[in-house]
Amino acid sequence: MSGDTSAREALPADDAAVSEAERKARKAAFEANKLSKRLHRQVGQAIADFNMIEDGDKVMVCMSGGKDSYAMLDILLNLKARAPIKFDIVAVNLDQKQPGFPEEVLPNYLRSRDVAFHIEEQDTYSIVTNIIPAGKTMCSLCSRLRRGILYRVAKELGATKIALGHHRDDMVVTLLMNMFFGSRMKGMPPKLVSDNGEHVVIRPLAYVAETDLEKWAVHREFPIIPCSLCGSQENLQRVQIKQMIRDWDKQYPGRVENMFSAMGNITLSHMMDTKLFPFVDVRATGRPDPQGDKAFDEDEDDCGAPAGGAAVQPVRLIRD
């Protein structure tokens, strides 16, 4: 009798637990679906805006084993399956022989995705650690070596595009780094010819926020390879700026997106680069120009409406 009672008492609690778990699962599935749509839309948009991938291209997708490159490959494979054009994907990882690098993780994943891949084994770790004194940052030499190797591999594989997993936040951080420490307004382009002139480098994640990539990596359970195996510290200034924009994003939602959009919405006449705008030739035209100088009025956009009356460029990174 007492057993029956306890069983009856347990039922409502179990029901409640099941429905709570179900509610959570449904919410998680809904959020994942929304995230998936946003990521695929943003990557598709970036590819279209910059004509990143064309019919017949062979895209070499550089895989580090981090969340960004996994997400890039994942999304490109999905887009390839439904794209109106035909292009090939080959995933490439450079095994730099860092101590503890789990060399089977990426090949296993790539086989599971049925994607063509190439693992290039080059012991750049030994080269770098032999040249750079202990305690000094190794990243500059390491990335120079890596770049040269990847260019060669791209050539050998017949790749027409090299895809890198940099995202929106990387691009904003690079702009700020160049301003703060290099005294120049130079960002990280979504598409550009490589410095040796032989390849076209593309960044399909250009419109994607890093926080979305973090969530996607968790959702898709990518087998992430830690990025600290080389023992080098990430550039401290870069770390600080990354933190700064994360804080801004929380405190002032939209600020990072606006900074990012600003990189594609430049008014050269309102900067001061004499190489890009012929200031020496400026003469009065006699015609009103909403883009002209407002003399004593501060030409700023502090109320959300553009100075000069032009339409606000919609921020491309719409948060669903």
> Which residue ranges are tagged as binding site?
139, 142, 230
Within 10 angstroms of residue 107's Cβ, the number of other Cβ atoms is 14
Say whether residue 106 binds ligand SF4 (CB under 6 A): no
Least spacing, CB of residue 93 vs ligand SF4, in Å = 12
Q: Which is nearer to ligand SF4, 174 or 232 (CB)?
A: 232
Q: Which stretch binds ligand SF4 (CB under 6 A): 1-9, 15-23, 80-88, 138-146?
A: 138-146
CA-CA distance, 118 to 155, in Å (whole number)? Answer: 13
Instruction: Name the residue nearer to ligand SF4 (CB basis): 124 or 261.
Output: 124
Using the rule CB under 6 A, is 73 a contact of ligand SF4? no
By CB under 6 A, is residue 129 in contact with ligand SF4? no
Q: Which range touches ligand SF4 (CB under 6 A), out of 136-144, 212-220, 257-265, 266-274? A: 136-144
CA distance 172 to 189: 11
Q: How far is the CB of 295 from ligand SF4 (least distance, A)?
A: 49
Q: Is 230 among the residues that bind ligand SF4 (CB under 6 A)?
A: yes
Task: Provide the minimum distance between the beta carbon of 144 and ligand SF4 in the complex, in angstroms, as a whole number.
Answer: 9
**Other residues' Cβ atoms within 10 Å of the Cβ of residue 32:** 15
Three-state SS at 261? helix
Q: Which of residues 139-198 bind ligand SF4 (CB under 6 A)?
A: 139, 142-143
Question: Can you read off the two tokens belonging to residue 233?
Answer: 């510290």
69 near ligand SF4, rule: CB under 6 A: no
Binding ligand SF4 by CB under 6 A: which of 151, 232, 260, 263? Answer: 232
**H/E segment holding residue 60:** strand 58-62
As a whole number of angstroms, the distance between CA 273 and CA 279 comes to: 9
Q: Which two tokens stand for residue 210?
A: 């890093």
Find the shortest distance in angstroms from Cβ 258 to ligand SF4.
30
Cβ 148 to ligand SF4, closest distance in Å? 13
- 3-state DSSP assignment of residue 291: coil
Q: Residue 15 or residue 234: which is nearer to ligand SF4 going by CB?
A: 234
Buried (b) or exposed (e) across 171-184, using 16+ Cβ within 10 A? bbbbbbbeeeeeee
Which residues define the annotated binding site for [4Fe-4S] cluster?
139, 142, 230
- Measured CA to CA, the distance from residue 262 to residue 253 in angstroms comes to 16
- Binding residues for ligand SF4, rule CB under 6 A, total 6
Cα distance between residue 61 and residue 43, in whole Å: 14
How big is the chain by its Cα radius of gyration, in Å? 25
Kindly list the residues in this chain that would bind ligand SF4 in the complex (CB under 6 A): 138-139, 142-143, 230, 232
